[in-house]
Amino acid sequence: MKMIRLIIAINMLLVLGGCSVKYSASGASIEPGAKTVNVRFIENRAPINNPTLSQNLTEKLRTKIQSQTRLTQTNEDNADYEFKGAITGYSFSNAAVTNVDKASTSRLNVTVSITFIKRIGDKKGFTQSFTRPAEFPATQLPSAVENGLLENTIIPGVVDDIFNKAYANW
């Protein structure tokens, strides 16, 4: 009887210890053998664009991955994980209209298309568009609020969405 319990206990340890995905404190699931990531420069292909958006978005994604995982950024073509993409949409629009047909709130929308390549584990990557809006009072000029909306709302939101899709399986 004790021998059977011992065998069951050993088998349970082997089964539980053999799981292929490890979770970090940030909730990211990284394959045990994964060491490198290549976040390629995210190009700006939107008809309207902000000149600093590509660089800022690329750097924020690299920083998030390096701070939330044990992966090392590389520029090699054979990295364990690879992100590449482009900003495909950048537009201002009216978000809310008052009863006198005057805009009370405006919105900046940014859309980023990302391809995530996994060269390790189940090798299930994705190609997906991520869109984030940010609203501001219509009384303000877009040029006056644009950089603040990008830095404080849109870029962090898009980076979180990309990271969660790639590593948190949400």
Taking the chain (170 residues) in consecutive chunks of 10 residues, what is each chunk's mean pLDDT? 54 44 57 96 95 97 97 96 98 79 86 97 95 94 95 98 88
Q: What is the DSSP string of 57-112?
A: HHHHHHHHHHHHSS-EE---TT-SEEEEEEEEEEEEEEEEE-TTS-EEEEEEEEEE
What integer pLDDT is reported at residue 15 of this predicted model?
44
What integer pLDDT is reported at residue 29 of this predicted model?
86
Domains along the chain with CATH numbers: 1-167 (3.30.160.150)
pTM for the model stands at 0.81
**Polymer length of the chain:** 170
